[in-house]
A and B are shown apart, each in its own frame.
Chain A
Amino acid sequence: NAGVTQTPKFQVLKTGQSMTLQCAQDMNHEYMSWYRQDPGMGLRLIHYSVGAGITDQGEVPNGYNVSRSTTEDFPLRLLSAAPSQTSVYFCASFPSLAGELFFGEGSRLTVL
């Protein structure tokens, strides 16, 4: 039972490049979310999903795109990377709003 798997763990991009952070969970959770973590800023919600085919914006959605075609996968797309998107990204899945969040190990992204 792998839990939540994020890839890649590390990535360096140049400004303007695009990329996708992958997130997969094997716990059959309906809810999934993406957070970014910056020093002193805690965990800020980028996008979330309450089930396959349903996504919504969080606190800091600009510059990011998501889709949820299956229960298992919730990829995060950076359309045109900017230095301000340098951060550590965490994907999480959870069974309900009142349920425990299970986090992936994180993806450290640097945009030059």
Chain B
Amino acid sequence: GQQVMQIPQYQHVQEGEDFTTYCNSSTTLSNIQWYKQRPGGHPVFLIQLVKSGEVKKQKRLTFQFGEAKKNSSLHITATQTTDVGTYFCAGEGGSEKLVFGKGTKLTVNP
């Protein structure tokens, strides 16, 4: 079945450093979504990418969708303590089910 792999599993950075998480699918995706879950909270939608090679920005966050629509990345520039949490990617690849990656837990040292 469809699998979505996400790396790294954990990332610890100093405040002000950049952060990137990567998502790879075993199948071509129709779209990919990114979610953020704060500690003790629930996942909250960040963005959706649909087109091959698409790049979207939200302030310090940059999201990319690969040309083959099988991988994606989320890059945060100059992390802040408010960025802490777990970031999940989720994709639908023909199974009519949204499959989540295992997430990348980001901690930021002030």
Interface residues of A (CB under 8 A from B): 33, 35, 40-45, 48, 58-59, 90, 97-98, 100-106
Contacts and interface: CB of A to CB of B under 8 A. Distances in A.
Contact of B97 (A48, A98, A104, A105): A48
A80 B6 CA distance: 33
B98 A40 contact: no
B73 interface: no
B97 A101 contact: no
Contacts, number: 52
By size class, the interface of chain B is 20 to 34
Contact of A97 (B1, B35, B98, B100): B98
B101 A42 contact: yes
Contacts of B33: 100-101
Given A101-B45, A104-B42, A58 B100 contact: no
14 contacts: A40-B9, A40-B102, A42-B6, A42-B88, A43-B90, A90-B42, A97-B96, A98-B92, A100-B45, A101-B33, A101-B98, A102-B45, A104-B42, A106-B42
A111 to B, nearest CB: 21
A85 B92 CA distance: 26
Contact of A103 (B1, B43, B102): B43
Nearest to A90: B42
B30 A98 contact: yes
